[in-house]
Amino acid sequence: MNLNLKLSLALIAGSMMAVSCGGSGSSSSESTSSTTPPPAPEPAQEISLEEKYKDDPVFIRGVELMKQNDCPSCHMIERKIVGPSYADVAAKYESTDENVEMLAGRVIAGNVGVWGEIPMPAHPALAKEDAEDMVRYVLLLKK
């Protein structure tokens, strides 16, 4: 056998032995396998309050009553226009019987000064029970 062939076979045998023994010829403790980190989790998609509560009976009744009245002229669920957003009102007040009664009274009688100097007009024709249902709906809309 010629010398070049013997050297080539020796190199191949040595390489096979190093690979089969898991050695790479390095004394480093690094892993020879390439691992990719798991993909970063996608950020949770924020859903709207409308989507969050769409199946709640209080929400359904409240939306119905709000649409029958002039509430959408000044209020939106998550954005201030003339008056505060419903979400801002829900953040300010706990959903208690006392707050429902007090806020329903403000809806019926009108109010000014709590959210600024633009007055909320009175709604004297609104039934107390309907006003309370509307307030319960608003107070449901917590973020």
Which residue in 102, 77, 101 sits closest to 90, CA to CA?
A: 77
pLDDT above 90 covers what percent of the chain?
A: 57
Q: Strand, helix or coil at 80?
A: strand
CA dihedral of residues 109, 110, 114, 115 (deg, nearest 10): 150
CATH homologous superfamily for the domain 50-140: Cytochrome c-like domain (1.10.760.10)
Question: What local confidence, expressed as pLDDT, does residue 95 receive?
Answer: 95
CA distance linking residue 68 with residue 111, whole number of Å: 20
User: What is the distance between the alpha carbons of residues 107 and 132, in angstroms, rounded to a whole number?
Assistant: 9
d(CA 127, CA 139): 18
pLDDT tens for each residue of 18-58: 555 555 554 545 555 567 777 776 666 778 888 888 888 99
pLDDT tens-digit readout, 98-125:
999 999 999 999 999 999 999 999 999 9
Provide the angle, in degrees to the nearest 10, between the axes of the packed helices 128-140 and 57-68.
120
- Domain residue limits, the chain: 50-140
Buried b (16+ CB within 10 A) or exposed e, 11-33: eeeeeeeeeeeeeeeeeeeeeee
